[in-house]
Structure 1
Amino acid sequence: MSNTLCIAGAGSGKTQKIITESIAEIERGGKVLVVTYTTSNQQELRRRFLEAFGRSSDRFVVKGLFSFYLEDMVRPYQQSLFAQRIDGIFFNERNPHLKPGSTYMLPGRKEQLEDKSYNPDHFLTQGGTKAHTGFLAKLAARVAKATKNAAAIRLGDIYSQVYFDEVQDLVGWDYEMLKALSKVMRSPITCVGDFRQTVYETTFGHKAPQTATEKIAAFKSMGFKEEALVRNWRCIQTICTIADAVHKGAYKATESAVENIPPELAHHLGAFIVKHSDVNDYIAAYDPMVLRWNVTSGAKILPAQARCYNFGSSKGLGFDRVLILPAESQMHFVLDGVAPFPADAETAQNKMYVAITRARYSLGFIVPDKKAEGLRFPVWTKPLS
């Protein structure tokens, strides 16, 4: 079987696909590994498997990406680079080799020493007991090269099917690892994700691929067969169409699979402009989930009772009604939907897509009063009491 890249649009049932195929593989006598990035997605995969299969199984293994790198790719073969056992992982929020608040590289942190051996202080914390998450994929790639892909060969003997979920969040050295695995593993690899929802990064540095275009090209160069899940089981068609416009023409059009709308929600469907002056009334009327850039966004606009998520942390969730507070870099999409996002605004573009596709039935965009008229969405007005 060939390796597959499955581009799964928001609400398209990617988790259901993984669970359904995994159960079928287990019933054939196989063993499945699922590697994913976020803790919440690991928990959801385990929950959905238990719900569908009826019991837990040691033939369905879910691992976090960093745990997978350390436990399966690095530690069993680390003697090829470092003698001291690596006990765990140190989660990096910033590059540990840079002086805080600057681009100055701390001394003694280069990857290789003068004798060309690998420097433990580049990959590991002081003392060499924990691996930096920001350089763990790079370390795994170095170990793979030193051992002629021994880990990949071993994994192919253990698992009959391997999934990598949320691959849109992988960058740079993660792809070197996928390349190493895909070269020698006998078991098929399925990579699942949606590059329109890239809001995280797993490593530091500027090693390609970084952009969605580069990532898809990398999969093609590795020989992955591409498939797409285009039916959306969450959003009504109006919302699907607006979401498609965020990356206009770059992906296959989305088809809503929503057929039944709860009667109590049917009176307010579709997309609306909500003026600053009407935000309090709109929230009081519909209690939408407010999505914003960060916790400080909208401090002077949103009422204290508003339920809020940041764009990134809303990923994977769904709400009947959503109210979006666009950042300045996203406002042009709301105002006219004509001008494309600039090349250096991919994060803003992807966060807008994530925010829109959280909404099932209604979607509001908060706009300053002076800009609210004559736009492509109707302006919401408070119903007469």
Structure 2
Amino acid sequence: MPDNQLTLAVAGARKTQGIVEACVAAPPQERILVLTYTTANQDELRRRIASQVGLRPAIEVMGWFTFLIRHFVKPALPFVYSGVRVTGFDFDSMPQQYASNDAYERYFNSEAQVRRVHLAQLATRISDASQNAAVACLSRIYDTIYIDEAQDLCGYDLEILLRLMKAPIALHMVGDVRQAVLLTNEREKKHKRYQYMKIWDWFREQQKKGQLHIEQRAETWRCRQEIASFADSLFDASWAFTPTTSINTACTDHDGLFLVHETDVPAYLEQFDPLLLRQSANSAKNKPYDFMNFRVSKGLSRLRVMIWPTSNICKFLQSSTRLEDRAAAEFYVAVTRAEQSVAIVLNTPGESPIPYWRP
């Protein structure tokens, strides 16, 4: 079996840094491709690799969409549509629900720009039509492919992963399904049952088939133990996640979890200057504060965080009412931005054992 690995690592486990360190340790002649979805993560990977590895032409960092266009669509498009070339990338097109899977218009707009919404499906069709020529070519270009934030992949992206798993290339993926709050294509119906946190089921299925080895890394360098344990409690035991262990032993004059009454929020902000988070604008209407949304905060690390909860988060705190998977993932992202303290605005504690902070 090819060397296919997934490292499922908790928030603060230095997932991205692990890829950088692997690039540092790699022999100079090893040809490495590093893939990720978001532009911010691409920029961060390029910056870290440049600073720690230096100029090494054999290491490339590339976005997932660029990867599909450059290595699947452009070189082998004639296998599906002869006499056609790609002129650009259409990020915004809606799903072409009235165009058949064989129709050129499904995949390209009137300016011959390939549509993001059906890009992975087109790449899969081209791969099959060319008898996996694109994957064979990749194996001659690269020795190792790393995929960061692998939980963001969905739909036909999983079909591409299956083809990569069968290639003579070492495939190493890292991610955290507990932070599955983004998707490469939210509108894709293919493999819909594996979207967001449910991609964990798909990964485990591949492991059962012998196509993937999964390792869980449960040490966080970011969050104090009480924060990490609280974040673990957001998910039912049926997920079978390894409990998180904190490496953070720092102590300050304000550590751990706290509830804050809404009337005390101005005093808390003035004293501790936390990162103030909300699920969306609807969950903190008419509040005179400078918020960041949960999903946008993904990847950040701050000394202190304050969270304006949704009604469902309030119920979870007050009576242990389980959160829906996606809501739990977003709340997990918010909680695990914090190194030393998490404050949650809640006027009525219910059964919550978390203590109140008072000015």
**What range is the shorter-chain TM-score in?**
over 0.9
Give the Cα separation in 2 of the matches to 1:347 and 1:95: 23
Partner secondary structure for residue 33 of structure 1:
strand
Which residue of 1 is the match for residue 68 of structure 2?
69
Give the Cα separation in 2 of the matches to 1:222 and 1:58: 33
Cα distance change on mapping 1:50 and 1:212 into 2, 3 Å: same
Which residue of 2 is the match for residue 186 of structure 1?
168
Q: How many residues align?
A: 349
Contact 2:231 2:332 in 1 (8 A): yes
Give the Cα separation in 2 of the matches to 1:96 and 1:373: 45
Q: Any unmatched runs of 5+ in structure 1?
A: 98-104, 112-117
Give the Cα separation in 2 of the matches to 1:148 and 1:73: 12
Partner secondary structure for residue 375 of structure 1:
coil
Cα distance change on mapping 1:125 and 1:222 into 2, 3 Å: farther
Which residue of 2 is the match for residue 290 of structure 1?
276
Mapping of 1:341-352 within 5 angstroms?
A: 341=323, 345-352=324-331
Which residue of 2 is the match for residue 150 of structure 1?
133
Partner secondary structure for residue 281 of structure 2:
coil
Deviations 1:95-150, CA, capped at 9 Å, x for gaps:
343xxxxxxx5x4x222xxxxxx2111111124x1111111111110000001111
Which residue of 2 is the match for residue 259 of structure 1?
249
Q: Residue 330 of structure 1: CA displacement?
A: 2.4
**Matching residue within 171, 195, 207 for 2:177:** 195
Most deviating of 287-296 and 11-20: 287-296
Q: Residue 155 of structure 1: CA displacement?
A: 0.8
Partner secondary structure for residue 283 of structure 2:
coil
Which residue of 1 is the match for residue 123 of structure 2?
140
Q: Residue 276 of structure 1: CA displacement?
A: 1.6
**Matching residue within 240, 244, 248 for 2:232:** 244
Which residue of 2 is the match for residue 89 of structure 1?
89
RMSD: 1.7
Deviations 1:322-343, CA, capped at 9 Å, x for gaps:
001122232222224x3323xx
Cα distance change on mapping 1:325 and 1:215 into 2, 3 Å: farther
Which residue of 2 is the match for residue 102 of structure 1?
none
Q: Residue 222 of structure 1: CA displacement?
A: 6.1
Give the Cα separation in 1 of the matches to 2:345 and 2:69: 44
**Matching residue within 344, 349, 357 for 2:336:** 357
Question: 2:76 is aligned with what amino acid?
Answer: Y
Q: Residue 62 of structure 1: CA displacement?
A: 0.5
Contact 1:288 1:323 in 2 (8 A): yes
Give the Cα separation in 2 of the matches to 1:258 and 1:359: 11
**Matching residue within 219, 225, 229 for 2:206:** 219
**Matching residue within 317, 335, 349 for 1:334:** 317
Partner secondary structure for residue 183 of structure 2:
coil
Q: Residue 258 of structure 1: CA displacement?
A: 1.1
Q: Residue 374 of structure 1: CA displacement?
A: 4.8
Question: 2:33 is aligned with what amino acid?
Answer: L
Cα distance change on mapping 1:70 and 1:313 into 2, 3 Å: same
Contact 1:182 1:222 in 2 (8 A): no
Contact 2:283 2:309 in 1 (8 A): no
Give the Cα separation in 1 of the matches to 2:214 and 2:114: 33
Query: TM-score normalized by structure 2?
Result: 0.92
Q: Residue 373 of structure 1: CA displacement?
A: 5.5
Partner secondary structure for residue 246 of structure 1:
coil
Mapping of 1:100-115 within 5 angstroms?
A: 105=97, 107=98, 109-111=99-101
Detail structure 1 runs of 4+ shifted over 3 Å in the superposition: none
Contact 1:5 1:219 in 2 (8 A): no
Contact 2:219 2:245 in 1 (8 A): yes
| Residue 258 of structure 2 is aligned to residue 278 of structure 1 | no
Contact 2:304 2:340 in 1 (8 A): yes
Partner secondary structure for residue 313 of structure 1:
helix
Contact 1:149 1:181 in 2 (8 A): no
Identity of aligned residues (%): 32
Cα distance change on mapping 1:205 and 1:50 into 2, 3 Å: closer
Most deviating of 4-13 and 215-224: 215-224
Give the Cα separation in 1 of the matches to 2:267 and 2:281: 21
Give the Cα separation in 2 of the matches to 1:275 and 1:142: 56
Partner secondary structure for residue 297 of structure 1:
helix
Q: Residue 296 of structure 1: CA displacement?
A: 4.6
Contact 1:179 1:222 in 2 (8 A): no
Contact 1:275 1:372 in 2 (8 A): no
**Matching residue within 238, 247, 254 for 1:268:** 254
Which residue of 2 is the match for residue 299 of structure 1?
285
Which residue of 2 is the match for residue 325 of structure 1?
308
Partner secondary structure for residue 360 of structure 1:
strand
Cα distance change on mapping 1:178 and 1:110 into 2, 3 Å: same
Deviations 1:255-307, CA, capped at 9 Å, x for gaps:
1111234xxxx111100111122112211221111111123532333x34x4x
Contact 2:8 2:174 in 1 (8 A): yes
Which residue of 1 is the match for residue 20 of structure 2?
19
Partner secondary structure for residue 20 of structure 1:
helix
**Matching residue within 119, 133, 140 for 2:103:** 119
Give the Cα separation in 1 of the matches to 2:138 and 2:200: 29
Q: Residue 215 of structure 1: CA displacement?
A: 2.7
Query: TM-score normalized by structure 1?
Result: 0.86
